[in-house]
């Protein structure tokens, strides 16, 4: 009831002779009720705003579990694209759009395979700003952030809008990469390991120069899968387990397995050109996006400072340079976005936002095989 109407009724009843009511006590009771009403109204509005805010802006920057351990959650959208024209998601030119961050190693995999398979004119591309704030990945113009490519498909301001457009009740993280279907207006897949396999062969009938080129050859799949598994757990995800740990125990559990795996990789690459013999495969691509970020970011930012790639792993360095110098790969590397994303976005790790000067080893340097190779 509005304040003026309530005040009128109090005066009406207080001044009637048949009602033995003390006007002063009535006013006191009224103001108590009025104040209580204002309190509940204000606080319920606040609670409602908080719950809405929680739905719209989940705890994007809260990475570790209660025990201090970082546990990466599974991706939510896992559909595939088929050569079959009758499939729900069939391979068609200009039907799909890829959303990535130059900074993200998982998204980086997908844009490498997109480039190597000659899909630049088949699958569109948008690139988010390197900075990730409380609302997650945002879109910027190239004028605002060089290297960014706005979302001209959905005109979204944030990646999270794509997730809510696909599922209004979505409660997970708003990650990249995102493979979007313009026809059905939905996310097809947001799992990088599956997107690179989709790109590997699903669109072969739409390309002429790269048809038949595969980074997941059938005769090597068992070996590739085996390497992918331990590299993912201890290296790709291992650096994050160290960097996002919030207890010493969680950090200690993951730092040694990381360097044991790097030592193992160094040994493999001292004998082989690539991870699976002399064949360049997806196993190399999946590892490579972590390795090129190791010295300039993970070594300092994620406290993985026992060794560096440049000074302690000559065979890994040779291999990293060799892949960088494969045509089209270098074009997918934006070290400015990589460094500024990690050092500026992760305020819980680097509150000052200061970005170190080191860009890591020169990957364009001539490839010189180590003496023991």
With a CB cutoff of 8 Å and minimum separation 6, the contacts of 271 are: none
Task: Catalytic residue, from 96, 240, 298, 342: name it.
Answer: 240
Strand, helix or coil for residue 23: helix
d(CA 327, CA 209): 14
Distances in Å between the alpha carbon of 122 and those of 89, 92, 126, 153, 206? 15, 8, 14, 15, 8
174 is annotated as contributing to ligand binding = yes
- Is 143 one of the annotated binding-site residues? no
- Check 104, 163, 170, 242 and give the catalytic one: 104
User: Is 242 an annotated catalytic residue?
Assistant: no
Helix axes 221-231, 248-271, angle to 10 degrees: 150
192 labelled as ligand-binding? yes
244, 274 Cβ separation under 8 angstroms: no
- 104: annotated active-site residue: yes
Distance CA 133, CA 276 (A): 39
- Tell me which residue of 120, 127, 137, 123 sits closest to 101, measured CA to CA: 127
Contacts of 74 (CB under 8 A, 6+ apart): 191
Q: Which tokens sit at 82?
A: 């088929």
**Contact, 355 vs 343, CB < 8 A?**
yes
Cβ pair 359, 335 in contact under 8 A: yes
- Annotated binding residue 137: yes
256 assigned to a ligand binding site: no
User: Coil, strand or helix: which one is 117?
Assistant: coil
Q: Indicate the annotated binding residues for glutathione.
A: 137, 173-176, 191-192
Indicate which residues carry an active-site annotation: 104, 240
């Amino acid at each position: 009831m509005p304040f003026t109407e309530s005040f009128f009724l109090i005066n009406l009843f207080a001044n009637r002779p048949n009602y033995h009511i003390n006007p002063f006590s009535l006013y006191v009771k009224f103001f108590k009720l009025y104040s209580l009403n204002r309190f509940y109204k204000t606080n319920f509005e606040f609670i409602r705003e908080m719950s809405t805010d929680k739905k719209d802006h989940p705890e994007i920057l809260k990475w570790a579990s209660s025990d201090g351990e970082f546990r990466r959650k599974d991706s939510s959208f896992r559909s595939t694209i088929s050569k079959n024209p009758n499939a729900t998601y069939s391979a068609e030119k200009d039907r799909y759009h890829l959303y990535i961050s130059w900074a993200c190693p998982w998204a980086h995999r997908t844009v490498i395979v997109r480039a190597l398979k000659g899909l630049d004119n088949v699958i569109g591309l948008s690139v988010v700003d390197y900075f990730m704030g409380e609302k997650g990945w945002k879109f910027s113009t190239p004028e605002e952030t060089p290297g960014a490519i706005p979302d001209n498909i959905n005109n979204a301001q944030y990646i999270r809008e794509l997730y809510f457009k696909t599922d209004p009740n979505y409660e997970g993280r708003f990650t990249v990469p995102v493979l979007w279907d313009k026809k059905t207006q939905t996310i097809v897949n947001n799992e990088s390991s599956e997107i690179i396999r989709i790109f590997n062969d699903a669109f072969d009938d739409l390309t002429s120069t790269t048809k038949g080129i595969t980074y997941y050859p059938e005769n090597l799949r068992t070996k590739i899968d085996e390497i992918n598994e331990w590299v993912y757990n201890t290296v790709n995800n291992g650096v994050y387990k160290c960097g996002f740990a919030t207890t010493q125990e969680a950090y200690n559990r993951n730092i040694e397995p990381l360097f044991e795996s790097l030592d193992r990789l160094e040994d493999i690459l001292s004998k082989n050109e690539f991870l699976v013999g002399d064949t360049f495969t997806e196993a190399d691509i999946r590892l490579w996006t972590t390795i090129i970020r190791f010295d300039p970011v993970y070594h300092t930012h994620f406290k993985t400072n026992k060794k560096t790639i440049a000074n302690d792993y000559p065979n890994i360095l040779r291999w990293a340079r060799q892949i960088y110098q494969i045509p089209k790969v270098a074009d997918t590397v934006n070290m400015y976005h990589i460094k500024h994303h990690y050092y500026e976005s992760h305020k819980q790790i680097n509150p000052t936002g200061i970005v170190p000067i080191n860009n890591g080893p020169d990957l364009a340097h001539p490839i010189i095989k180590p003496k023991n190779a």
